[in-house]
Amino acid sequence: MGNPAVHWQVQENGYYRLSGVLERDTVPAFWQQRREWMPQDAKVTIELSDLTRVDSAGMVMLLHLHRELTQAGRHLVLQGVPQQLLTLLRLSHVDTVLAACME
């Protein structure tokens, strides 16, 4: 079995898919490479239903992504948010930060 990985796929204008494993082993390298994948669209929709695992590091990365996009005047929409991530957000008392982003 290979190392866990996170995958970023451009679907179409402003629509992206995040799949794989978004956890402490994958987030640091993925986040460091964000200049390569960071969306430039005014509205950024990210489909998360293909994530097989999300831990607190993945949650924090999504919160940072939200902050960076918001500071740049862009709007983030998260679709297909896994139950595991919803639970982490709620337990960490930060679910309201991303609540307006979720569809």
Give 33-66 pLDDT, tens digit per residue. Answer: 998 999 999 999 999 999 999 999 999 999 999 9
Residue listed under structure tokens 């239903």:
49
> Taking the model in full, what pTM does it have?
0.93
Residue listed under structure tokens 């999504």:
62
Tell me how far apart the alpha carbons of residues 4 and 43 are, in angstroms, rounded to a whole number: 29
Backbone angles phi, psi at 72, to 5 degrees: -90, 5
Residue 79 has pLDDT above 90, yes or no: yes
